[in-house]
Structure 1
Amino acid sequence: MANTDQRLIVGFYPNVTKEERKEVHKMMGATLVQAIDQIHAEVVTVPAQNVGFYLTQYSASTNVRYVEIDQIAHAHGCRRIIPNDPEFDLQWGLEKIMAPEAWCRAVITSQDINIAILDTGIDPNHPDLAAKITRTANFSNSLTTDDLFGHGTHVAGIAGAITNNLVFGAGTSFNSGNLWNIKVLGDDGTGPFSMIAAGIVDAADTGADVINMSLGGPGGSQALEDAVNHAFNIRGVVVVASAGNDNTDTPSFPAAYANVISVAATDENDQKASFSNFGDGVDVAAPGVGIFSTCPTHANVLNCINFGSLNGTSQAAPFVSGLAALIKATFPLLSNQTIRQAIESSTDDVPGSGTLYQFGRINANSAIITAGTL
């Protein structure tokens, strides 16, 4: 099997003949690799980049009882996956949320999950990001989709830096998830809600599975809320946003909208970061202090070059987005609502859980386990 193929198990009804099974696979364009006749199941390979399409098409066949990803089992001795990235030991946030344990349980090499980073752009030449950037769009007032501010590149690395490649560190989604560079903020790190709304709609309509917005402002906007609702309700996207850095319970938008997972920041001791917003509109917390990630390989406003540490709920949000992508890669048939439920219902109870934030600090391992039961 080529590394661009995905194995599927197709379960047929007992009365379906071998010829009828063969015809189903032929119509799908799938390759038969194994039959388990006693349980009326056959294993096929399909192109990994279109696995969602094949799952939908097989499910629609009246001859098919079920179709599922042929998931990878690990020996019970595999309790953690520690990547070979040299700076992984600096990424305390991944250890805190138990990402190495989650990676042992998850599909970590899917090529069919798209994480849209709506931000100041992503450096297209960063060695730990470039190969994962599969789509770029510009809705900002900048003349370039490159990251001249420095923020979007840092956010992108937390969610989806190329992992286990002997370069820098790891991304929360390991190697499950492409990065989409959807630039909605200008080179000064600001942008109007209308540009963000346009970016949300574009990403959702083009096939994003997760939208990360490490940005926000006060007051709200009907257009912005409509765009979020379009992405969540119509397109089935998991939408994540940072709660804000003003140490207040005043809502920040888009984080405060009902169809957004709003993310506060915590430190290494699971205390609320001094700057992090909090309150009824905040859903979960994630690491957001001293977060080491990718930075542009060129000069930028934040003066973070190649790799570096930043603080903010902006850094907390992509941990959640990367986790959402990891769940989607592992359980591709789960809805965005169910993925959100898995993340929120599996958090660790930390100081502020239920008061400063509705739930607790995310736990990737528990979320993967929970997702498998939903």
Structure 2
Amino acid sequence: MVGTLGTQPPSGRYVDRFKALAAAFLLASSSFWFIAPAGGIELNRIARSDFVSTLAPNDPCVSGCQPYGVPWHFESLGAQSAWDITTGASEVTVAIVDTGIDTAHPDLIGRVRSIPGCGLGPNAAYDTSHGTFIAGLIGAASDNSIGTAGLDWNTDLLDVRVMKGSNGTTSDIADGIRCAARHGADVITLSFVQAGTQLSPVLEDAINEAVAAGALVIAAAGNDGDTRQRFPAAAAGVLSVGAIDETLGVATFSNRGDWVDLMAPGARLLSLGSGLSNGVRLGQGTSFAAPLVAATASLVKARFPYFDASQISRQLLRAAQPHTDTTTQLSYKILNAERAVTLPYRTHWQVTTTGQVLALGESQHFGDLTNGASVRDVVAIAANASGLGYWLARSSGVTATFGDALPLGDLAQVTLNKPIVDMAVTPSGNGYWLVASDGGIFTFGDAGFHGSTGAMTLNQPITSVIQTRLGYDLVAADGGVFNFNSPFLGSGASRELRGSIVDASSRVGGW
């Protein structure tokens, strides 16, 4: 059996009542739906770029409507800046496997579809408030001058009802997940938790089938307010989501711990409600944090249509903002929609000896040295971890910093025996090595010194430095390799070369 929400009155405060003894699943919404906001909360802000958004929907509750105030999750996620990059794509499908959706809600007309035989189908006898609230967070119609807006304005919302009001079965849920995946859902969001400590084999098989079909499965971590693992969120292959409040701290009701992959806004969220004069209400729960991750995933898929589910998941985690709760001392990652659609996946920059930078593919141009200065000695360009910045190195050892790359230092005040010939970034992207033609190594940021050939007599000058997992290799013009804190994989010095070695590259695993 599955426990769900009871009937909701159109106003006031609503308490969810679950029959725990008879329920195999509980919807992961909080005990309370709020209709009027509490005041006096100071919002913490995640650091945002200086980019100024030019795209804002005209839906009145996005900028604030009475008595709810301004929805805080849009700013927390960086939604305005994300929308300037993408507002989603109708080719991306998000399946809401839940209580069903009120498709007659004015802010959902034309935004939701269902597939006959996929789930239990619509039934007016059963409450759909939980699924409607979720649908609004993900994809409420935008720029229609009513209600609020979803985080993704254009995604295809697939309604897969698996609940019969306050009851349901594991087999119905599993069938709904399979059906969503079979019909091409890119993202499947699950806002319920299973009773007990073991994942149902039936549900596990359905999730595995969905993942194998290419769907990203996202699930709410639960509202026990502790570290216990809840399923399906804790299942292998599922992206688990907990909730934060306006202060960016862990919401008191949210489950937390190392098993939770991402935290997202889940307290006092504004979304759609049926039977209300303005069509919106406030609610909270990890049930509603998970859909914000699902919506961001759909934006990522729209921005990078060649991404598969695992790449979308990695992008969400890569873009997330590290945070430590000062009260609980818990460290976690907070969903960041702006960075998720901004961080480039495939970057390629080229630099000339004069310092002109060419940005190709998804790369952005953040500046160069061609501003009238007479520069002729640029030897290298290296990108930082985010892909939103880079360093240029000159033969004099002077470096230039662009984008969000940090100024980690250079050799402007150092007299060099030999010129700098190359630069390599550390695996973390938070440091770099400069190498001179005699093999002298200079470290900056988190780059470690593991040795050099500066005191050796070389047959040919060093032309390249390449990062390895724990150290670096120096490569000479004759193909000779000098490895420092890295395994020796061979050398080109014993081979017949048709010219000199000018550069080298290496990569280990997925740093």
**Is TM > 0.5 for Structure 1 vs Structure 2?**
yes
Q: Percent identity?
A: 35
Return the match for 1:88 from 62, 67, 70. Answer: 62
Higher relative contact order (CA 8 A, sep 6+): 1
- The residue that corresponds to 1:278 in the other structure is 256
Asked whether the 8 Å contact 1:270–1:351 carries over to 2, the reply is no
Asked whether the 8 Å contact 1:280–1:357 carries over to 2, the reply is no
* Mapped partners of 1:286, 1:342: distance in 2: 15
Of stretches 137-146 and 310-319 in structure 1, the one that deviates more from structure 2 is 137-146
* Mapped partners of 1:112, 1:329: distance in 2: 8
* Mapped partners of 1:356, 1:341: distance in 2: 25
- The residue that corresponds to 1:97 in the other structure is 77
Return the match for 1:199 from 145, 169, 176. Answer: 176
* Equivalent residues in 2 for 1:219-298, closer than 5 Å: 219-233=198-212, 235-297=213-275
Change (3 A) 1:143 1:81: closer
- The residue that corresponds to 2:283 in the other structure is 310
Asked whether the 8 Å contact 1:176–1:326 carries over to 2, the reply is no
* Mapped partners of 2:181, 2:273: distance in 1: 26
- The residue that corresponds to 2:307 in the other structure is 334
Tell me how far 1:193 sits from its aligned partner: 2.1
* Mapped partners of 2:207, 2:329: distance in 1: 24
What do you get for the CA RMSD once the two structures are aligned? 2.5
Return the match for 2:114 from 116, 135, 141. Answer: 135
Change (3 A) 1:370 1:253: same
1:177 and 2:155 correspond = yes
- The residue that corresponds to 1:368 in the other structure is 341
Tell me how far 1:81 sits from its aligned partner: 2.4
Q: Aligned partner of 1:247: which letter?
A: G
* Mapped partners of 1:145, 1:209: distance in 2: 28
What SS is found at the alignment partner of 1:350? Answer: strand
What SS is found at the alignment partner of 2:259? Answer: coil
- The residue that corresponds to 1:49 in the other structure is none
Higher helix share: 1
Return the match for 1:210 from 164, 187, 202. Answer: 187
What SS is found at the alignment partner of 2:89? Answer: coil
Asked whether the 8 Å contact 1:133–1:179 carries over to 2, the reply is yes
* Mapped partners of 1:343, 1:145: distance in 2: 36
Tell me how far 1:264 sits from its aligned partner: 0.3
Asked whether the 8 Å contact 1:137–1:183 carries over to 2, the reply is no
Tell me how far 1:80 sits from its aligned partner: 4.8
* Mapped partners of 1:141, 1:357: distance in 2: 40
* Mapped partners of 2:200, 2:215: distance in 1: 20
* Mapped partners of 2:140, 2:283: distance in 1: 16
Aligned length: 289
Q: Which structure has the larger Rg?
A: 2
Tell me how far 1:246 sits from its aligned partner: 0.7
What SS is found at the alignment partner of 2:241? Answer: strand
Tell me how far 1:296 sits from its aligned partner: 2.4
Higher strand share: 2
- The residue that corresponds to 1:44 in the other structure is none
**Taking structure 2 as the reference length, what is the TM-score of the superposition?**
0.53
* Mapped partners of 1:77, 1:93: distance in 2: 18
Q: Unpaired runs of 5+ in structure 2? A: 1-49, 64-69, 348-511
Change (3 A) 1:77 1:313: closer
Tell me how far 1:146 sits from its aligned partner: 7.5
Q: Unpaired runs of 5+ in structure 1? A: 1-75, 299-303
* Mapped partners of 1:146, 1:163: distance in 2: 29
What SS is found at the alignment partner of 2:243? Answer: strand
